[in-house]
Amino acid sequence: METQERADEGIAWMESFADTWENCNSMLYTHNWWHIALYYLQLENYQKVLELHDTHIWEYANKQSPKDQVGAISLLLRLELRGVDVKNRWQDISPYIYSRINEHALPFQDLHYVYALAKAGHHDWLNQMLQSMQYHTLSINPFLRRSWIEVAIPAARGMVAHAKGDFNTSVAELKPVLSRLHEIGGSHAQRVLFGQVYQDAVLSAQKQSWNYAVS
């Protein structure tokens, strides 16, 4: 329904089951609400998305859980791409990312973590994590190593560059890997984010060069 832009229908259908999620673990609970939040994003009801983030997603999350962290980060980023001020919510999440710095369970998750660390201004942790990603490639099998080196690490650099407002670097890093993002994990709905970041980087880089040209 989300990919077909059937947001109203999706909300009605998902919310009709919401009372059955009360006893779910936090991953299922927050992920279901994350999907509902995507519908409200589609409807441009950003106030509602923030409210869902604050109540059913991050507030309800097991803050040590990677899946819960990734959902919350993804939502904040999607809101920012639409020009919404998420205030200090990056700082609320970022302390919980510290324990993930050397984990590297899924490259897809790492792309979220580095973004959150960059947005929250934890540059020491961010640099540690980027170095740790490189180091990690030495200890894994050649098949995985290839995806890490050729896709995950450039994508991480592209995400960090976007978070820091260096849009030309973001475009240069993300463009070559867009067609290979399925190699790094996550669902279709989750990976859409990286294409959106890339598109935003393209537009923002154009705006920046226009501003330089007229100033």
The token pair that represents 58 in the structure block:
């991050």
Q: Which of positions 66-125 make contact with Fe ion (CB under 5 A)?
A: none
Give me the least distance between CB of 32 and Fe ion, in Å please.
Answer: 8
Give me the least distance between CB of 176 and Fe ion, in Å please.
Answer: 27
Length of the chain, in residues: 215
- What are the DSSP E strand ranges found in the chain? none
Give 78 or 136: the residue with its C-beta nearer to Fe ion. 78
Distance (Å, rounded) from C-alpha 112 to C-alpha 48?
A: 22
Binding mask 154-193 for Fe ion (x = CB under 5 A): ---------------------------------x------
Give 140 or 189: the residue with its C-beta nearer to Fe ion. 189
Give 158 or 186: the residue with its C-beta nearer to Fe ion. 186
Number of residues interacting with Fe ion: please give it, by CB under 5 A: 1
Closest residue to Fe ion, judged by C-beta, is: 187
Q: What angle do CA 123, 128, 131 make, to 5 degrees?
A: 125
Give 102 or 187: the residue with its C-beta nearer to Fe ion. 187
Q: What angle do CA 190, 174, 52 make, to 5 degrees?
A: 30
Distance (Å, rounded) from C-alpha 165 to C-alpha 86?
A: 16
Distance (Å, rounded) from C-alpha 136 to C-alpha 130?
A: 10
Q: What residues make contact with Fe ion under the rule CB under 5 A?
A: 187
